[in-house]
Amino acid sequence: MNGCPILEMERISKSFPGVRALNQVSLKAFPGEVHVLLGENGAGKSTLMKILTGACLGDSGRILVRGRPVEIGTPRQALDLGISMVYQEPSLALHLSVAENIFLGREVLRGRSLGIIDRKALVRETGKILGTLGLSFSPKTPARDLSMAQRQMVEIAKALSAGSSIIILDEPTAALSEQEIKQLFRVIRELKRSGIAFIYISHRLEEIAGIGDRATVLRDGEAVGTVPASTPMDTLIRMMVGRKVEELFPRAEAPKGEELLRVENLGRKKILQGISFSVYAGEILGLAGLVGSGRTELARAVFGADPRDSGRIFVRGRPVQIASPADAIANGIGYLSEDRKLVSLALSMSVRANVTLASLEDYCLGPFLSRQKEYRAVGRFIRELAIKPPHPERKVKFLSGGNQQKVVVARWLATRARVLFFDEPAAGVDVGAKGEIFQLISRMVAQGGAAVLISSYLPELLAVCDRILVMCRGRIARELSRGEATQEEILYYSAVGS
């Protein structure tokens, strides 16, 4: 942390109509530093980063790069100053190769003005960059064949090859498994040594001490303070929300009841093998495992969204046929998918339309919609789930991540499903809303339902689950009870199998 800061943002303010997004926020980053940016959704992190990357203009304040004041009006100018952003969801051209992606827009040309791409040079240069990052895949691999983690690495490689010295990582670990996170951190540490500065946005507080140097906490558009990243987690959380950490995952104990769902010997070619398990009323069952171990695929197969080759499903002891999501819903099974925006929500539609989507027949008279019934039900869900803003006609694309997730939860509660699969329900959701969502799950379970929780975030699973099934390569490697489950245990079985 010696020497001159590579980046200084001084007293940045920004107002949107009717709301002050940033108020006199300052931030300094040094070469070789991982500077963590903390704050709940809406605290101003993304606005600050948008100003830094030229995606929007600040109202006042100034930015200095290597001590020189700069104007950043467009994303291009930010790139030219060596500032790159790696988004939470990597935005690669999936049909192009790794090499083509890395050099997209900066292709190495043969014969200057002819516009012919020098493929060999592209592959060679890419190979060098991948080598320095310790990545083993070929520059010719199509991007669609890469895992989420690998795509993220390619984004970082892209930033490096563009000569960036300030790299912003937006929730880089949100979609990664523990294994992949380790790999990512190794790469970050490697790059720190060569003087790259990282601005690291994350909701996962416990990983901050491991990777960060300093942390700046934002709350309501103001910088609360900059502290060492090793600051205890509950102090950081207090700075963010003014609330204690134990309150985050409240869990009402419910007695284990009857068997609601039993899956026997479920299989799908190359993806799932011989899966059997039961879910009981009043319990939260965790599904742990690395990304790609088959957790999502299992949930989707039970729900009828993906095909199965074998397996029988019993609901409350009776065998049932589930060939489509409609069958699953009719049998009281629901599935909240992993990627809200892509798979769950009709973003351009209202909260009301999204909440009633899976149970619309309940709000109809013949083929006609009954607005009255809809409003009554949606109003109740908005109150019970504290969806904000509390307006049934608001389009969901204008809601924060946490509130969008609540809308999806409301949709499934409206189907009166007794068994709900939650696939990464807390991904990209801020700390406050996370607590609320787990509270909702607990409440639903306490009322005689059951939840199956898929999460890559182990502390979450350990805090809320009664039992945890650890999956590895399409099989259930091990069942762990609440008492015996520890992070080490889960990691061991996810990696090694049974």
Partner 1 sequence: MAEDHDLENTPGKRLQALSDLARRLVSFFSLVLMALVLSILSPYFLTLENLFAIGLQMSVIAIMAIGQMMIIIAAGIDLSVGSVLALSGVVCTSLLAGGVPVASALSAGIGVGVLCGLLNGVLVSRGRIPPFIATLGTMGMARGAALIISGGAGIQLLELPGAFTFLGGGRLFSVVPVPVIITVVLALAGHGILKYTRMGRYTYAIGSNREAVRLSGVNIHRYLTMIYTFCGLLCGLAGVILASRLRSGQPTAGTGWELDVIAACVIGGASLSGGEGTILGAIIGALIMGVLRNGCNLLDISAFWQQVAIGAIIVVAVYIDQYRHAR
Q: Which residues bind partner 1 (CB under 8 A)?
A: 16-19, 40-43, 220-221, 303, 305, 324-330, 335, 337, 342-349, 353, 357-358, 360-361, 364, 367-369, 388-389, 391, 399-400, 402-403, 411, 415, 430, 432-433, 436
**Lookup: tokens for 19:** 């709301």
Specify the residue for token string 């790299």. Answer: 167
- Would you say 217 or 329 has its CB closer to partner 1? 329
- Least distance to partner 1, CB of residue 12, Å: 17
- Least distance to partner 1, CB of residue 203, Å: 14
- Would you say 211 or 248 has its CB closer to partner 1? 248
- Would you say 443 or 473 has its CB closer to partner 1? 443
* Cα distance between residue 239 and residue 237, in whole Å: 5
3-class state of residue 480 by DSSP: strand
Cβ atoms of residues 279 and 468 within 8 Å: no
- Least distance to partner 1, CB of residue 382, Å: 13
- Would you say 164 or 354 has its CB closer to partner 1? 354
How many beta carbons lie within 10 A of that of residue 464, not counting itself? 21
- Would you say 183 or 415 has its CB closer to partner 1? 415
- Least distance to partner 1, CB of residue 133, Å: 34
- Least distance to partner 1, CB of residue 309, Å: 21
- Would you say 162 or 369 has its CB closer to partner 1? 369
Specify the DSSP class assigned to residue 142.
Answer: B
Q: Which residue stretches of 17-57 are H helix?
A: 45-52
- Least distance to partner 1, CB of residue 324, Å: 7
- Least distance to partner 1, CB of residue 404, Å: 10
Q: Residue 136 burial (CB < 10 Å; 0-12/13-18/19+)? A: exposed
**Lookup: tokens for 142:** 């199509």
| Distances from the Cα of 375 to the Cα of 225, 363, 434, angstroms | 44, 9, 26
- Would you say 361 or 488 has its CB closer to partner 1? 361
Specify the residue for token string 């030229």. Answer: 54
Find, among 392, 390, 403, 469, the residue nearest to 440 by Cα. 403
- Would you say 165 or 331 has its CB closer to partner 1? 331
Instruction: Using DSSP bridges, classify how beta strands 222-228 and 318-320 pair: parallel, antiparallel or unpaired.
Output: unpaired
* Cα distance between residue 161 and residue 125, in whole Å: 9
- Would you say 102 or 408 has its CB closer to partner 1? 408
- Least distance to partner 1, CB of residue 273, Å: 24
**Lookup: tokens for 384:** 């019970």
- Least distance to partner 1, CB of residue 224, Å: 14
* Cα distance between residue 485 and residue 466, in whole Å: 10
Cβ atoms of residues 329 and 417 within 8 Å: yes
| Distances from the Cα of 413 to the Cα of 253, 409, 418, 475, angstroms | 20, 6, 9, 30
Cβ atoms of residues 181 and 189 within 8 Å: no
Instruction: Using DSSP bridges, classify how beta strands 166-170 and 83-86 pair: parallel, antiparallel or unpaired.
Output: parallel
Which run of H or of E encompasses 311? strand 310-315
- Least distance to partner 1, CB of residue 349, Å: 5
- Would you say 145 or 393 has its CB closer to partner 1? 393
* Cα distance between residue 285 and residue 262, in whole Å: 13
- Least distance to partner 1, CB of residue 345, Å: 6
* Cα distance between residue 218 and residue 239, in whole Å: 8
Q: Which amino acid is present at 55?
A: A
- Would you say 174 or 328 has its CB closer to partner 1? 328
